[in-house]
Amino acid sequence: MTIRAALRRDTFAPQRRRMVERLAKAGLCDARVLAALETVPRHQLLPEALQVQAYTDTALPIGDGQTISAPGIVGLMTAALALRSEDRVLEIGTGSGYQSAVLSRLAAQVISVERLPGLAARARRSLDTLGVANVVVHLGDGSLGRPADAPFDAILVTAGAPAIPPPLLEQLAPGGRLVAPIGTREEQRLFRVRRTERGLVRENLGRCRFVDLVGANGWAA
């Protein structure tokens, strides 16, 4: 079943439309990102008991100590990547597969790395159910990136780290954009890094809070 087919049977569509309208009023102005958020049925990527909360702008638990990010932060991070339809994206932290599905609507290919086997398997099943064919989920240490598939036009890190993992910067293509939450375990700042002809340019996009990026270039388990 494709995302389009799932939407035809989707009783949550009005709630999702209102969510997108709220995000637009709050300042998310990227039309392509808003359209992607309206297309992806977030409730289908949540445990059944939490589906009624799917279209609130809130992070929700998905098991294994992980969360599905709030739609607002998914929209902000996705917009910051400034994706083109031909881009190849590396996502660090597959989680529920929600961010992966949003990215899939905007880029040619998404390579996603998840360290928890149960989450990786559930995300792949969910993406298959939605008919998302351009996302590849790998099990591994996301802080190492995915050198076998590098370089990437865009890299999105969906977990907080004490610093940007050096392997991710090495795997960023010329002109590429990386977005990652960096800081302490209690609070991070969302940074965008662009690889330009003059070198790496870093921008602070504001406060955020994510679960830990665990790995060789992140936090210890």
Summarised one tens digit per residue, pLDDT across range 150-168 is: 999 999 999 999 999 999 9
43 within domain boundaries: yes
Residue type, 129: T
Residue 3 pLDDT exceeds 70: no
**C-alpha distances out from residue 211 to 36, 136, 152, 187, Å:** 24, 22, 24, 10
pTM of the model: 0.94
100 within domain boundaries: yes
85 within domain boundaries: yes
Options 69, 100, 112, 143, the catalytic residue = 69
Domain of residue 195: give its range.
Answer: 3-208
37 within domain boundaries: yes
Domain count for the chain: 1
Task: Report which of 169, 71, 22 is spatially closest to residue 79, judged by C-alpha positions.
Answer: 71
Contact yes or no for 80/179 (Cβ under 8 A): yes
Percent of the chain exceeding pLDDT 90 equals: 92
Per-residue pLDDT at 1: 47
Interval 60-97: pLDDT, tens: 999 988 999 999 999 999 999 999 999 999 999 999 99
221 within domain boundaries: no
**C-alpha distances out from residue 54 to 12, 58, 68, 215, Å:** 9, 8, 10, 29
CATH classification at residue 97: 3.40.50.150
44 within domain boundaries: yes
146 within domain boundaries: yes
Mean per-residue pLDDT over the chain, rounded: 95
Who contacts 184 (Cβ-Cβ below 8 Å, separation ≥6)? 162
Q: Is 112 a residue of the active site? A: no
213 within domain boundaries: no
Burial label for 189, CB within 10 Å (0-12, 13-18, 19+), is: middle
